[in-house]
């Protein structure tokens, strides 16, 4: 039955029958149909209805944005095709059947979203169940945030027949639904195409239409609402200008002339004229309607509408006239020779000139300055200056009428351009009646007159050295003229051009250059406008003064001269300048600059190469004895012992050069090479710096000597001592122990290869060490003897380094310090001319000691530390503090860390003192080489329970040359405040004394004294043996315990015998026949038989039982009552091991 109903497309029956009721119904229906006339049996027309939330719900623009709206389409008299949902083409056809006539682009977003989402999951947007309900399709709209309509949108569903099972029976009347636009405002009216000029003139309308909202009925008549609406029109740019418009609206005498309420959803604002409205860029005006202006008093949620006001512009016509004729360009000569015949006329459209544009100087000058040159602006500036400085301004500018201004260019005879010049005129809008910029600047060209200009490497100036060297170029560039084709090949024309160069100055040298140019200059016709002349070298060119060169290009060397129509000469004027050289310099190179030592001078062969710049050597500098010797004498050293040795050596060079021409050689015009001869006895103790002064007599162009300083250095051979003997000077004990090293490093020399292996050389080196300037010092002789007896004590570590390691010297014993110096025999150094004294000297002294004094000593109280201000003065004997012991953070902190309390480097309370010292860099001062003062800062939380003994070990890093840390003496003690014992804590609580103390004293001045525990553990091992038993008692006690007494019932036993266990004393006693349960009592006594602590009683039980009587960390000390009572952990721990009767109370 379902299949028949689907196939025929009839609507489903309104009920479902079962079994027995169904047959009578069918028979009745068939009979009814049979009895109907034939015409009555025709198929009914298909109709469709809409349902879902699109009909019953809010159905607004916002609900479309949020998504989830449903559209239910039900057909009657037909059925949907079975795959209307699953077939993409049919599904999309159904979506496309939903159309609208207004703002279709917005509804198209909905359709696109439906198609897109259904492509991946069609069931999420379309629901259709062919069986059992083939009549209804449900469409669920997806979320669509950018759907935005400005008016209600009617959507019609035109169901395609192809989507119906009976396509021949289409839907007769398409159903539709309407989506309500969110309340919003739109702006229309003539304001939408307004410019700045429209605002100035007024009359533009702003039509504000509401959709699905209504204006307050009194928006026009109530002043506050009317003005609030005006204020809703805002901008973020050029605020002051729009404010003028709002002010004009509010101040209009008759509000009806500027605002009207057309209907309850439309307001029209008509702008009044705003004469001074002036914007420089487009201005966006946005409408944000205040809710109070609407009947609903609800804010619009849609985007605020806006409009744009564009700046106004002006168009101008221009006319450039010469002698009354319009021109597109003028000549350079027209400017030079013109007689007020060049005029520029500017005619405005839709605007007019300021009335005083020609009369007010500032406006006049502004217009002149608006004419700008694209090239050679300094030349055009001459024209502008002439315009501004005209004695009669009316002769250069006139305002012919409201729209026209004429500028007349004056004569400017010194106007001179080298290429065509483009001038652009942009009229400033401030010179116009309406300040609207001109949108079409005027451009014209001034064509350059025929001219010639000189450039190239010859310009703007060269030196005489440049002329001597040759290669400089003279580039002559023509403007609006052409070189003769044969200018480079025709001798007559070349020399004619050369002859038109003229000079002022050293004429004789100038003629030398002219002659050289005629003989050897290279001419190149680079192009029709460019000629390049390359100068040849001119040896011997030497100026006595500056030469200024000018040029006039003769017309006879230009194109056209051969035809008989000779072009005019082209004057260049000053072309270039040739100056005498004043920057002559010289540089030195050669092997002399490669770390030359005194040994190299002795050996000879070093070269001194002198290279000139901006000058050349005299041709006979090497062959003429006088000039040669003058050059050698120019190599000088400062006077003195070593300098005089070099200065004397110069005579050796001159003598050798007189017979050997290879000593001084003129290698080239720029280079002289001097090769040093060997010399004996050249011996210096310090480096020599040699300077060079080259005399004028050996140079070509220089008028002053050339100095090179410094020129080179001759290095003396030096020896430097290092090693642990230097960095940590030894005391007697260190010499006796041996192991110190002496490293001898040579500078500018090398050790003899066998200095360590050759016995004679090795011993000669050792003998070079002398104590206290006494070569026979008996104690130091012990050291030298030990060194000589051990061949391994001297090692040649490298070519420049020898290391000596001192062996033990058991017989060494001095009562005062020794200073050891070393002189190295020259035979031990390759190439050395004399013995070398090493630096620095070595020191041997007794061990340093340190003494502590200051206001903190001999003892201080806890309160002294809390308050701060006490000093610790550390004075060294036979030692020196490091220079930066107080300023170097690492050394300062290392010194502070040298203080240790109670031999415990980690003591918590003293750590607070050290932390405070480290936090204050000023706490440590180095008063002298031997004295340092430490000033304690306040340490408010310093709180000790027993006296502290503080000692100091000075780290060797804080000292100069110390090989070991130094223990300072004496140590000092920090004590608790003095107080009197007031009985046990148990008694003080019982008799009320503790309460009295608390009433009269600060809590931190009442002390609870915790005594030391001398019994650490008690172990009882009770074993039954037949009818009796054996009991062993082990007592682990402190070292102060001399004997232990154990009492069991009436039996008392004492022992002084113990074994050691972890630094403790272990006492053991035994009993037989003790019964359980029972007790034993343990007493501990010192060597005098006095009890050290209260007795301890413990139970005996079968087996082994161990009792801990003392904490792992001692609790011994004096605690102020406040600290003890507020530290629950501490109090609990004390009461675990002590009874109230063990504790005593103390007060001042």
Strand ranges (E), 655-755: 664-666, 671-675, 688-694, 706-715, 718-722, 741-747
Measured CA distances, 314 to 282, 402, 404, 438 (Å): 16, 14, 13, 4
d(CA 494, CA 213): 95
3-state secondary structure of 713: strand
pLDDT of residue 543: 87
User: Which of 58-62, 273-277, 605-609 shows the lowest per-residue confidence on average (mean pLDDT)?
Assistant: 58-62
What percentage of the chain has pLDDT greater than the value 90?
A: 73
**CB-based contacts of 740, cutoff 8 Å, min separation 6:** 723, 724, 725, 728, 730, 734, 805, 806
Neighbours of 1045 (CB within 10 A): 19
Distance CA 998, CA 1117 (A): 20
* Per-residue pLDDT at 4: 34
Helix axes 491-499, 507-520, angle to 10 degrees: 160
Query: From the CB of residue 1107, how many other CB atoms can be counted at a distance below 10 Å?
Result: 13
- Report the alpha-carbon distance of residue 1031 to residue 1024 in Å, rounded: 9
Contacts of 480 (CB under 8 A, 6+ apart): 447, 448, 449, 450, 451
Greater model confidence, 359 or 603 = 359
pLDDT for 961: 67
Number of Cβ within 10 Å of residue 676's Cβ equals 23
Per-residue model confidence as pLDDT tens digits over 518-548? 999 999 999 999 999 999 999 878 888 899 9
Rounded to whole angstroms, how far apart are CA atoms 371 and 442?
9
* Rounded Cα distance, 583 and 65, in Å: 84
pLDDT score for 399:
96
- Residue 602's SS3 state is helix
Helices (H), 350-472: 361-369, 377-388, 464-469
Q: In the predicted model, what is the mean pLDDT of the chain? A: 90
DSSP H helical segments within 410-528, as ranges? 464-469, 491-499, 507-520
Q: 130-171 pLDDT, tens per residue? A: 778 889 999 999 999 999 998 899 999 999 999 999 999 999
DSSP line for 752-771: -TTTTTSHHHHHHHHHTEEE
Which band of pLDDT confidence, cut at 50, 70 and 90, is reported for residue 847? low
What pLDDT does residue 831 have? Answer: 78
Q: Which of 754, 742, 741 is nearest to 799 (CA)?
A: 754
Q: What's the rounded mean pLDDT across residues 381-410? A: 95
Q: Is the pLDDT of residue 52 over 70?
A: yes
pLDDT at 18 over 60: no
Give the pLDDT confidence of 703-745 residue by residue, as tens digits. 789 999 888 999 999 999 999 888 878 888 889 999 999 999 9
Which residues have C-beta within 8 Å of that of residue 345, sequence separation ≥ 6?
Answer: 318, 319, 321, 400, 404, 405, 406, 407
Residue 564: pLDDT band with limits 50, 70, 90: low
User: Residue with structure tokens 């091991």?
Assistant: 1137
pLDDT at 24: 42
- Mean pLDDT is lowest, of 99-108, 554-563, 624-633, 1089-1098, for 554-563
pLDDT digits (tens, 9 = 90+) for 635-685: 999 998 888 989 999 999 999 999 999 999 999 999 999 999 999 878 888
3-state secondary structure labels for all residues of 18-61 = CHHHHHHHHHHHHHHHHHCCHHHHCCCCEEEEEECHHHHCCCEH
Average of pLDDT values for 83-102? 94
Task: State yes or no: pLDDT of 6 exceeds 90.
Answer: no
Would you say residue 69 has pLDDT above 60? Answer: yes
pLDDT attached to residue 994: 93
The band of 945, judged by pLDDT with boundaries at 50, 70 and 90, is: confident
Residue-level pLDDT at 1:
33
Give me the pLDDT at residue 7, please.
37
Residue 23: the pLDDT is 39
User: E strand or H helix at 631, and its extent?
Assistant: helix 625-633
Whole-number Å distance between alpha carbons of 826 and 602? 14
**Sign, Cα dihedral of 234, 235, 240, 246:** negative
Residue 193 clears pLDDT 90, i.e. is over it:
no
Query: Per-residue pLDDT for 822 more than 80?
Result: yes
Residue 859 main-chain phi, psi, to 5 deg: -155, 160
Which two three-digit tokens encode residue 663?
């000593």
Measured distance CA(1096)–CA(1084) in Å, rounded: 9
Mean pLDDT to the nearest integer, 1016-1041: 95
Helices then strands, counting H and E runs in the chain, come out as: 29, 68
Residues contacting 829, CB < 8 A, separation 6+: 717, 746, 749, 750, 751, 752, 836
Q: Write the pLDDT tens digit of every residue in 177-186.
A: 999 999 999 9
pLDDT band of 563, cuts 50, 70, 90 = low
What pLDDT does residue 21 have? 41
pLDDT, residue 13, reads 35
Average of per-residue pLDDT across 202-227: 95
* Closest C-alpha among 113, 118, 137, 105 to residue 65: 113
Paired with 140 in beta bridges are 70
Band (43; pLDDT cuts 50, 70, 90):
low
Residues 6+ apart with CB under 8 A from 783: 735, 769, 806, 809, 812
Confidence of residue 239 (pLDDT cuts 50, 70, 90): very high
pLDDT for residue 20 is more than 80? no
């Amino acid at each position: 039955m379902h299949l028949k109903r689907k196939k025929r497309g009839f609507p489903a029956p309104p009920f479902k029958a079962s079994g027995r009721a169904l047959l009578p119904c069918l028979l009745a229906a068939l009979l009814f149909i049979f009895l109907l006339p034939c015409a009555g049996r025709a198929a009914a027309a298909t109709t469709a209805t809409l349902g879902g939330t699109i009909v019953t719900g809010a159905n607004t623009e916002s609900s479309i944005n949020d998504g989830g709206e449903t559209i239910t389409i039900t057909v009657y008299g037909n059925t949907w095709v079975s795959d209307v949902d699953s077939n993409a083409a049919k599904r999309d056809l159904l979506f496309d059947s939903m159309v609208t006539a207004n703002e279709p682009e917005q509804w198209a977003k909905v359709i696109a979203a439906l198609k897109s989402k259904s492509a991946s999951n069609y069931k999420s947007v379309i629901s259709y169940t062919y069986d059992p309900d083939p009549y209804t399709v449900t469409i669920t709209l997806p979320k669509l945030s950018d759907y935005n309509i400005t008016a209600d949108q009617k959507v019609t569903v035109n169901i395609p027949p192809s989507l119906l099972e009976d396509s021949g029976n289409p839907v007769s009347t398409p159903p539709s639904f309407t989506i309500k636009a969110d309340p919003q405002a739109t702006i229309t009216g003539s304001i939408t195409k307004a410019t700045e000029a429209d605002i100035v003139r007024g009359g533009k309308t702003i039509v504000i239409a509401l959709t699905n909202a209504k204006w307050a009925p009194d928006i026009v008549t109530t002043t506050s609402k009317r003005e609030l609406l005006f204020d809703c029109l805002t901008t973020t740019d050029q605020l002051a200008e729009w404010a003028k418009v709002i002010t004009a609206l509010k101040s209009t005498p008759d509000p009806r002339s500027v605002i009207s309420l057309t209907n309850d959803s439309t307001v029209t604002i008509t702008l009044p004229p705003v004469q001074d409205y002036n914007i420089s860029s487009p201005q966006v005006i946005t409408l944000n309607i205040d809710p109070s202006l609407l009947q609903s008093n609800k804010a619009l949620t849609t985007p605020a509408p806006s409009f744009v006001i564009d700046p106004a512009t002006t168009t101008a016509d221009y006319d450039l006239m010469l002698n009354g004729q319009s021109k597109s360009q003028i000549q350079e000569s027209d400017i030079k020779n013109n007689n007020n015949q060049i005029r520029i006329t500017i005619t405005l459209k839709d605007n007019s000139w300021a009335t005083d544009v020609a009369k007010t100087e500032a406006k006049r000058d502004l217009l002149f300055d608006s004419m700008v040159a694209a090239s050679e602006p300094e030349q055009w500036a001459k024209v502008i200056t002439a315009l501004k400085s005209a004695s009669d301004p009316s002769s250069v500018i006139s305002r012919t009428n409201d729209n026209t201004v004429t500028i007349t260019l004056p004569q400017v005879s010194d106007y001179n351009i080298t290429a065509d010049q483009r001038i652009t005129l942009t009229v400033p809008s401030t010179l116009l009646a309406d300040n609207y910029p001109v949108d079409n600047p005027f451009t014209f060209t001034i064509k350059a007159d025929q001219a010639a200009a000189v450039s190239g490497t010859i310009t703007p100036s060269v030196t005489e050295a440049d002329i001597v060297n040759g290669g400089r170029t003279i580039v002559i560039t023509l403007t609006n003229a052409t070189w003769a084709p044969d200018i480079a090949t025709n001798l007559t024309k070349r020399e004619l051009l050369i002859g038109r160069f003229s000079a002022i100055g050293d004429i004789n040298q100038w003629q030398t250059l002219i002659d050289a140019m005629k003989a050897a200059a290279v001419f190149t016709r680079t192009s029709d406008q460019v000629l390049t002349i390359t100068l040849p070298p001119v040896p011997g060119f030497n100026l006595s003064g500056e030469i200024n060169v000018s040029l006039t290009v003769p017309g006879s060397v230009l194109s056209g001269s051969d035809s008989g129509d000779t072009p005019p000469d082209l004057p260049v004027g000053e072309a270039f300048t040739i100056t005498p050289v004043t920057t002559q310099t010289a540089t030195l190179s050669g092997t002399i600059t490669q770390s030359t030592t005194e040994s190299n001078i002795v050996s000879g062969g070093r070269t001194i190469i002198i290279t000139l710049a901006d000058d050349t050597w005299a041709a006979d500098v090497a062959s003429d004895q006088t000039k040669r010797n003058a050059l050698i004498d120019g190599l000088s050293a400062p006077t003195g012992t070593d300098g005089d040795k070099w200065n004397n050596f110069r005579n050796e060079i001159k003598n050798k050069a007189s017979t050997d021409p290879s000593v001084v050689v003129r290698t080239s015009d720029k280079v002289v090479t001097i090769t040093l001869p060997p010399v004996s006895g050249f011996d210096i103790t310090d480096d020599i710096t040699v300077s060079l002064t080259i005399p004028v007599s050996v140079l070509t162009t220089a008028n002053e000597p050339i100095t090179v300083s410094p020129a080179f250095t001759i290095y003396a051979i030096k020896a430097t001592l290092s090693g642990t003997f230097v960095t940590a000077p030894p005391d007697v004990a260190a010499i006796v122990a041996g192991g110190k090293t002496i490293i001898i490093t040579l500078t500018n020399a090398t050790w003899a290869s066998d200095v360590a292996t050759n016995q004679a050389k090795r011993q000669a080196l050792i003998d070079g060490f002398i104590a206290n300037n006494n070569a026979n010092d008996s104690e130091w002789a012990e050291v030298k003897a030990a060194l000589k007896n051990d061949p391994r004590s001297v090692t040649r570590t490298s070519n420049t380094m020898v290391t000596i390691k001192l062996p033990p010297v058991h017989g060494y014993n001095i009562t005062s310090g020794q200073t050891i110096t070393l002189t190295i025999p020259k035979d031990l150094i390759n190439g050395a001319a004399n013995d070398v004294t090493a630096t620095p000297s070595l020191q041997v002294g007794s061990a340093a000691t340190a003494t502590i004094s200051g206001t903190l000593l001999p003892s201080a109280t806890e309160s002294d530390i809390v308050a701060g201000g006490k000093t610790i003065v550390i004075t060294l004997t036979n030692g020196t503090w490091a220079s930066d012991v107080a300023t170097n953070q690492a050394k300062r902190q290392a010194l502070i860390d040298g203080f240790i309390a109670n031999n415990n480097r980690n003591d918590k309370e003293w750590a607070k003192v050290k932390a405070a010292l480290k936090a204050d860099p000023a706490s440590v001062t180095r008063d002298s080489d031997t004295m340092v003062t430490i000033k304690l800062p306040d340490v408010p939380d310093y709180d000790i329970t027993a006296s502290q003994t503080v000692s100091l070990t000075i780290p060797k890093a804080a000292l100069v040359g110390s090989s070991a840390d130094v223990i300072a003496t004496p140590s000092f003690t920090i004590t608790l405040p003095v107080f009197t014992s007031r009985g046990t804590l148990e008694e003080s609580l019982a008799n009320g004394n503790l309460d009295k103390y608390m009433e009269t004293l600060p809590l931190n001045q009442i002390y609870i004294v915790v005594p030391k525990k001398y019994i650490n553990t008690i172990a009882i091992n009770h074993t039954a043996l037949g009818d009796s038993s054996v009991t062993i008692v082990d007592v682990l006690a402190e070292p102060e315990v001399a004997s232990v007494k154990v009492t069991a019932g009436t039996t008392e036993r004492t022992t002084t015998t113990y074994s050691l266990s972890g630094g403790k004393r272990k006492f053991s006693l035994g009993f037989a026949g003790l019964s359980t349960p029972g007790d034993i009592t343990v007493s501990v006594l010192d060597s005098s038989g006095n009890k050290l602590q209260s007795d301890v009683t413990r139970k005996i039980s079968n087996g082994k039982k161990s009792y801990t009587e003392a904490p792992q960390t001692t609790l011994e000390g004096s605690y102020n009552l406040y600290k003890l009572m507020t530290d629950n952990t501490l109090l609990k721990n004390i009461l675990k091991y002590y009874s109230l009767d063990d504790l005593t109370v103390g007060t001042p």
